[in-house]
Chain A
Amino acid sequence: MSKPSYNGALTTVHYDLHIHTLMRHRAIPFLALLLAGRVAAQATTPTTPTPGPGALSAPNADPFPSTYVPYPSRPTVIRNVTIMTAAGPTIPNGAILMQGGRITAVGATVAAPADAVIIDGAGKYVTPGIIDVHSHLGVYAAPGVPAASDGNEATSPVTAHVWAEHSVWPQDPQFPRNLAGGVTTIQVLPGSANLIGGRSAVLKVVPSRSVQGMKFPGARYGLKMACGENPKRVYASRGPSTRMGNVAGYRAAWIGAEAYRRRWDAWLAGDRKTDPPSRDLNNETLAEVLRGNIFVQNHCYRADEMMQMIDIAKEFGYAIRSFHHGVEAYKIADVLARENISGSLWADWGAFKMEALDAVRANIPIVHAAGGRAVVHSDDPSGSQRLNQEAAKAMAAGRAAGIVVTEEDAIRWLTINAAWTIGLEDRIGSLVPGKNADVVLWSGNPFSVYSRAEKVWVDGALLFDRHDTTNRWRTDFELGYVARPGGTE
């Protein structure tokens, strides 16, 4: 990790890129490969007995570093397949090569290494791994008993000090189901009870004993903020109890954070011989937003409230990366495009509360047609498994409303636009050489109701195979509780 700069807003993020040695294996059973890979990873993790840097509120500090190591992979070619790259036109009858965890070639044909696994994709489709930028997997684990309800620290309207990853239960049985839906990367957010709910975690949808083992190496944190009905309902008795109270709450938090950032940045830029200012976890996260190191992921339904949130961001000099839910995004599609804020949206959720009343099924295509970045998100463990279907609904609704939407557009709503929303557009979200080999093979066109993810690779490792029920990932929770899959597939 290179030395961070401390000069206020918009420093670059420092990716702690893991360079992985290419692992080659003969035909070893899938589960054995998984186990071998994990044991090797654990053995190489160093122990650090020296005192930690916990006294310092350092930008880009990483006290819970990712220990993710890709699962073992074999060079793999899928050929004779339709490829939706999310980077250009669909390639009919194309081929893709994955090697060493990366995509190394995509085109009409690829040169297959001698040791490559060759998969014939006749009649099938390949897409990038789907990215869900709005997940609560692990923090609202299944079964949804109170003991597993870890998504809302609803004890104070501003809780920027809490981090979603500290609530994630890696044995949540929703993870393998998500992977089976073709989802390879998720942003797990705190809930929306609070004005400022805490840090998100960007995870790979992979089996692991710890959340650190799922964390996407080098991914930025996000900050969950929430507008509207939820905070004012949760805090009705102590405040904020109104939307104006909500706005006063955001502003008060940013005023405190800006003072904190100045104090710390001055100390960090100085000779550091005086005692450092005291750490404050809440302001530390907010200061990182002001420095540009953490993206704001803003739950907000109504158009008028989104416009106010944009002004607040300008008042304090931070950027809103994405509005989440945004059921009225279509009302300000031009503004979202101009401000370079993505819309992380549902295809057809609406009317379940006042601020969702004006939902329209053409929301996503309208945002897209205005030149904005539309993203299909879920906020739901069931919808997250079928984001391809959500995109298909949105595409159809757009066409019904007279908006020209292509499948090449719709695939971007699920992949590259989502990658941009979490700042990983250089590493995932499209099928271009050099990117991580997060790849899905679909049984047919992913926008058909009859298609299912058949194989899913994460960093080139085949982690889901619908036809292989014996080696299927089953979480600890499922053992003895949930019947083994198989028999009907």
Chain B
Amino acid sequence: MITPMRVTMAAVALGFTVAAQAQTIAITGGKVYPVSGPPIENATVLIVDGRIAAVGRNVTIPAGAQRVEAAGKWVTPGFINASTTLGVAEITLSAGQVDNSATGQRAVAASFRVWEGFNPAAAFLPSARKLGVTTVGVLPGRGLIQGQAAAIDLLDGSLSDMLVRGPIAMTADLSNANNIDGARAEAIAHLRELLRDARTYNARRVQYDANQSRALVASRADLDALVPVVQGTLPLWIIADRASDIEAALALAREFAPMRIGILSGAEAWMVADKLAAARVPVFVGAMNNIPGSFNTLNARQENAGLLRARNANVVLIGNGAGDAGGFNVGNLRYDAGNAVAYGMTWDDALRAVTLSPAEAMGIADRAGSLTVGKVGNVVVWSGDPFEFATTAEHVFVRGRESARPTREDELTERYKTQPPKYGKPPV
């Protein structure tokens, strides 16, 4: 039975589908931070058919363009949070929707493509977008080899619409080594054996398929998935916190050259900053971790990101503030950037570390991460400094479209503005 209320809601749904049609948008008069170049005062960003068509002071605005007045506003690329579980894990402590952790075999789940379980209807995607994040890395999360990560644009649509690239990386965990194997060095040996067997498998596929191979340590599907890792075309992002674990990861990368790695979490990365810089390894760190919460993170400090940059290491900022940093609070990434600045990173470096640097690390810099002609129209208009709490993201464009889908929390807030609330209208 269709109640009047349901009819109304259906009409609203149709309304924002129409509003989401791509068009020409001119964001005018703002202070524009392209990231790929210096900031430009009083500039225009022109988005045509979902792509950035022009950035600068003297931009001709086509007739019929939708104008967004941005005088006094700050305009940046959409922020990119490279480490989230959006769409694959929600309400995790109550086992609501938990699809980010594969069981695998002997802690190896290389063939696990986490985005294949991605839920575009997940309730907290709009919350992240509303706070200025337009693209996320969706990461798997259990075992020695955890699986393959993807880059997702936070637009309203299906997985195929939203998927930017998958895989962007394979992830592994050395921070938890002695829970997975018996000891640190055993986990490293385990990883080495997997990578060697992936090489062997790749070199001897014919023999393998003809049953003329010695036994290999992982399943065919997992070995298959590891081939691009040992070939150096898919990076292996390794969770490591203790300085010596980071050095072990760097040693493994040298041993398996041309394999490329990234360091995820990196609590003590500042202690090996020179080595990370020399190896040109992206280091994914938050800015609010200063607690020796485990024996792997004894020297965690808030200056981590700034010290790494001062040594010319490649820093990607991820969220690690309190709360559900990978889900409900994905949009808090900008506060990590602000805290990084408070503890020594330059403001420009911090902006790059939440835009272009993650795009590069994720292999999507050809289309995201800066306001550059030809890239997709992932653009945010901020009321002020995007790292400040008082600032709001006034307009968020994902591929040139501004969503009208309300967040769940906005609807709840609105409902309880009157107390007791009105839960609906009785049918007339």
Contacts and interface: CB of A to CB of B under 8 A. Distances in A.
A381 B298 CA distance: 15
Contacts of B93: 229, 352-353
Interface in B280-337: 288-295, 297-299, 303, 306-307, 321-324, 327-329, 332, 335
Interface stretch (B71-79, B112-120, B383-391): B383-391
A447 B327 contact: no
A316 interface: no
B344 interface: yes
Interface residues of B, number: 49
B417 to A, nearest CB: 8
Contact of A143 (B94, B294, B322, B421): B294
A79 interface: no
B324 A350 contact: yes
A489 B344 CA distance: 8
A173 B288 CA distance: 16
B341 interface: yes
Interface string B9-51: 0000000000000000000000000000000000000000000
Contacts of B124: 351
B231 interface: no
Contact of B292 (A334, A352, A355, A478): A478
Contact of A385 (B94, B290, B389): B290
Interface of A is mostly: loop
B412 interface: yes
A392 interface: yes
B327 A382 contact: no
B176 to A, nearest CB: 13
B389 A389 contact: yes
A449 B339 contact: yes
A248 interface: no
A389 B412 CA distance: 24
Contact of A360 (B297, B338, B387, B413): B413
B290 A482 contact: no
A351 B416 CA distance: 18
A330 B409 CA distance: 11
A230 to B, nearest CB: 9
B293 A392 contact: no
Nearest to B90: A351
A358 B123 CA distance: 11
Contacts of A390: 322
Contact of B291 (A174, A349, A352, A361): A174
B392 interface: yes
A74 interface: no
B92 interface: yes
A229 B124 CA distance: 22
B342 interface: yes
Contact of A481 (B90, B92, B271, B292): B292
A450 B392 contact: no
Range of interface residues on A (Cβ < 8 Å): 35 or more
B206 interface: no
Contacts of B421: 331
A24 B271 CA distance: 42
Interface in B246-287: 271
**Most A Cβ at <10 Å: residue of B94, B123, B323, B335:** B323
Which of A331, A349, A352 has the most C-beta atoms of chain B within 10 angstroms of its own C-beta?
Answer: A352
A331 B419 CA distance: 7
B91 interface: yes
Contact of A349 (B288, B322, B388, B412): B322
A401 interface: yes
A351 B341 contact: no
A162 interface: no
A450 B287 CA distance: 12
B96 interface: yes
A449 B335 contact: yes
Given A349-B323, A450-B341, A358 B292 contact: no
B293 A143 contact: yes
B387 A352 contact: no
A349 B299 CA distance: 26
B389 A447 contact: yes
A262 to B, nearest CB: 38
Contact of A359 (B328, B335, B342): B328
Interface string B395-428: 0000000000000010011001001010000000
A351 B325 CA distance: 11
B419 A381 contact: no
Contact of A331 (B289, B306, B321, B416): B416
B419 A449 contact: no
A352 B324 contact: yes
B289 A451 contact: no
A247 interface: no
B323 A357 contact: no
A449 B292 contact: no
A362 B413 contact: yes
A348 B290 contact: no
A332 interface: yes
Nearest to A144: B293
A11 B236 CA distance: 64
Contacts of A174: 291
Contacts of B290: 177, 382, 385
A249 to B, nearest CB: 21
A254 B293 CA distance: 38
Contacts of B387: 449-450
Interface in A381-397: 381-383, 385-386, 389-390, 392-393, 395-396
A330 B412 CA distance: 9
B327 A351 contact: yes
A392 B323 contact: no
21 contacts: A143-B295, A144-B294, A330-B412, A334-B419, A348-B329, A349-B322, A349-B323, A351-B123, A351-B324, A354-B91, A355-B94, A357-B91, A357-B96, A358-B409, A358-B412, A370-B419, A383-B322, A383-B323, A399-B390, A447-B389, A478-B292
Interface of B: 90-94, 96, 123-124, 271, 288-295, 297-299, 303, 306-307, 321-324, 327-329, 332, 335, 338-339, 341-342, 344, 387-392, 409, 412-413, 416, 419, 421
Given A145-B295, A330-B413, A452-B342, 4 more contacts: A353-B92, A353-B96, A400-B392, A488-B344
Top 4 closest pairs, chain A to chain B, by CB: A449-B338, A383-B322, A392-B389, A353-B93
